[in-house]
Amino acid sequence: MTQRLDYAHAAPDAMKALRGVSAYVAQCGLAAELIDLVYLRVSQINGCAYCIDLHSRDLLKRGVSVDKLVLAPAWREGGGLFDARERAALAWAEAVTKVGETQVPDADFAAAAAVFSAKELTDLTVAIGLMNTYNRLAISFRTVPAGAKLDAKG
C-alpha cells in the first residue's frame, strides 16, 4: 500500500483542531485504556489498518492482555475479560459508528447511560466521532500502518 497524500501536511490547521479534540478526550476523565479500547473497536469496524495497528500497540503498552486484544472484535463472547463499562462502551461505539444502520437504538442508550454519567457518555461519543474521523482520513489517503512499514523493511 502506498500513501496517497500526507493529509497532516496538506491541512495542518485541520489536524491541529483534531489534536485539540484528542487532547480533550485524553483529559476528560475516562480511563485511557477504555478510550483506546473504543478507538480500537471503531477502527476494526471501519477497517482502518493504520488505526488498528496504532491502538493495538497502545493497548499492549498499557499492559492489556493479548487475549483481550484479540477478542475485542468478539467482545460479547469475551466473558470476564471485559467489565461492565467496557461492554457498554463497546456496544455504544458499535451503535454510534454504524449510525446509518442502527439509528442508535434506545436500548443501547439505556445500557450506556446505566454505567456512564451524562458527561462521560457525551465524552465517549466525542471520542467515537473523533476516531471515525481519523479512520476516514487514514483509509481515504492510505496511511501505512507501522506494522506494514516494519514488514517492508524486512
Q: What's this model's pTM, rounded to 2 decimal places?
A: 0.93
Nearest alpha carbon to residue 37 among 83, 3, 80: 83
Q: Which of 32-41, 104-113, 139-148 has the lowest mean pLDDT?
A: 139-148
Helix or strand run (H / E) with residue 32: helix 32-46
Q: In which band, very low, low, confident or very high, does the pLDDT at 150 lie, cut at 50, 70 and 90?
A: low
CATH annotation of 10-145: 1.20.1290.10
Task: For residues 144 and 85, give the distance between their C-alpha atoms in angstroms, rounded to a whole number.
Answer: 32
For the chain, percent of residues with pLDDT exceeding 90: 92
Phi, psi of 63 (to 5 degrees): 90, 10
